[in-house]
Chain A
Amino acid sequence: MENFEPEIVAFCCHYCAYTAADMAGSKRISYPSNVKIIRVPCTGKVDAIHLMKALEKGADGVYVAGCLAGDCHFKNGNVRAEARVNRVKKILTELGWEPERVAMVNMSAGMGEYFAQTAREFTETIRKLGPGPGKFAGTNDKAAS
């Protein structure tokens, strides 16, 4: 536990958060290497199953980073993503896992500093929560399917 380094998956929208991550890089703002970014064309593409499978396969925390409210390139993908994140939070609560392991954040393409701050804060939140579901099992290297 003392040496626990969380593994975090961040689903980042191509039009905002991914560009914000780029911006953080160009401005030499560092953020924890714990965060692994998956670029998506829109956070509306992120389904509950993606968040659940990430946790199942070993991620300790997962967040979805989409455009600011009202700024979605595809109109309302970020709103849909937030609803899905909330659904996964409910499922995790039902299962006795911490709902804080999944989160939705919003930012614009210019918010490089905020991207780094979010990555730092989320990493710390997960560090405090400890290892996620996937770390508790040698069980799940795919059951049957």
Chain B
Amino acid sequence: MITAEQKPIPEIIQYIAPYGKILLVGCNECVTVCAAGGRKEVGLLASALHLNSMKQGKTIDIKEITLERQCDPEYVEELTPYIDGVDAVVSMACGCGVQTIAGRYKKTPVFPAVNTRFMGASLGQGVWAERCKGCGDCVLGITGGICPVARCSKHLFNGPCGGTSNGQCEIDPDVDCAWRLIWERLKELGMEDRYEDLMNAKDWRPGGAGGPGKIIREDLA
């Protein structure tokens, strides 16, 4: 899923300072799972913004709503009955959600309340770790199911660098060396010979270096 973290509250307050009526929009998908922008977080942020306005002796009008998915126009359309009655929208979805709202409602400013971080997996309650860079040409089939793009700090393709130390990465002793993990996994699978297969220089164009990505499915579009 896409992970996110709430922005510092003072930054959000700064965005909405000129406005009195706010539409605070959460998303029921990824940001709900990573506890950054679901219904509960919308309630909590609304409460914090109310407490702030009380501190300032002001009034703020906040309408809370959480959409099924903020990155789909069908769901964003549900904001239409409210949009004319507010001065600004604060979105707690990832950047995709913020932009979908901004694209649909041209006259109302939209501000992000979270920082979108990475595509990650849950390691346990309250812990998420990056697992995919969206490089557009998946190599997990030849690296034992462990991604050197997302999990090697240098995105190396043919074994570890000289910075690996006791199986850990030189950037932080808590970060596993991805190539150590790959080697151990290949050994467990009896696929050590895969390690000898040299990977060519990667074409980064499908992963973003070729400009904004786009998928068009002729059979669906």
List chain A positions with a Cβ less than 8 A from chain B. 47-49, 52-53, 55-56, 91-92, 94-97, 133-134, 136-137, 139-140, 143-145
Please give me the residue from chain A that is nearest to B43 by CB atom: A49
B48 touches A133 (CB 8 A): no
B residues 51-69 in Cβ contact with A at 8 Å: 51-55, 57-65
A143 touches B9 (CB 8 A): no
How far does the alpha carbon of A47 sit from the alpha carbon of B38 in the complex, in Å?
A: 14
Task: Kindly state whether residue B194 has any CB partner on chain A within 8 Å.
Answer: no
B60 touches A49 (CB 8 A): no
Task: Kindly state whether residue B40 has any CB partner on chain A within 8 Å.
Answer: yes
Provide 5 A-B residue pairs closer than 8 Å at the C-beta atoms, listed in order of the A residue. A49-B40, A52-B51, A97-B55, A140-B50, A143-B60
Task: Kindly state whether residue B8 has any CB partner on chain A within 8 Å.
Answer: yes
Known: A91-B9, A137-B53, A139-B54. A52 touches B48 (CB 8 A): yes
Size range of the chain B interface in the assembly: 20 to 34
B55 touches A94 (CB 8 A): no
The interface residues of chain A lying within 8 Å CB-to-CB of B60 are: 139, 143
B54 touches A144 (CB 8 A): no
The interface residues of chain A lying within 8 Å CB-to-CB of B62 are: 143-145
Known contacts A55-B51, A92-B51, A143-B62, then 6 further A-B pairs from the complex at CB < 8 Å, ordered by chain A residue: A49-B47, A134-B54, A136-B57, A139-B53, A139-B54, A143-B63
Partner of B8, one of A52, A94, A143: A94
The interface residues of chain B lying within 8 Å CB-to-CB of A96 are: 52, 55
Give a binary string over B29-56; 1 marks a CB under 8 Å from any A CB, 0 the rest.
Answer: 0000000000010011011101111110
The interface residues of chain A lying within 8 Å CB-to-CB of B52 are: 95-96
Give min CB distance, A78 to chain B, whole Å.
16
List chain B positions with a Cβ less than 8 A from chain A. 8-10, 21, 40, 43-44, 46-48, 50-55, 57-65
A139 touches B58 (CB 8 A): yes
Please give me the residue from chain A that is nearest to B23 by CB atom: A144
Among all A-B residue pairs, the 6 with the closest Cβ atoms: A144-B63, A52-B47, A139-B59, A145-B64, A143-B61, A136-B54
The interface residues of chain A lying within 8 Å CB-to-CB of B61 are: 143-144
Known: A143-B62, A144-B61. A95 touches B55 (CB 8 A): yes
The interface residues of chain B lying within 8 Å CB-to-CB of A95 are: 9, 48, 51-52, 55
Please give me the residue from chain A that is nearest to B9 by CB atom: A94
B44 touches A137 (CB 8 A): no
A139 touches B50 (CB 8 A): yes
The interface residues of chain A lying within 8 Å CB-to-CB of B10 are: 94
The interface residues of chain B lying within 8 Å CB-to-CB of A134 are: 54
B46 touches A145 (CB 8 A): yes
B57 touches A145 (CB 8 A): no
Please give me the residue from chain A that is nearest to B59 by CB atom: A139
Partner of A91, one of B40, B48, B57, B59: B48
Give min CB distance, A34 to chain B, whole Å.
20
Give min CB distance, B161 to chain A, whole Å.
38
Give min CB distance, B104 to chain A, whole Å.
20
B44 touches A133 (CB 8 A): no
The interface residues of chain A lying within 8 Å CB-to-CB of B55 are: 95-97, 133, 136
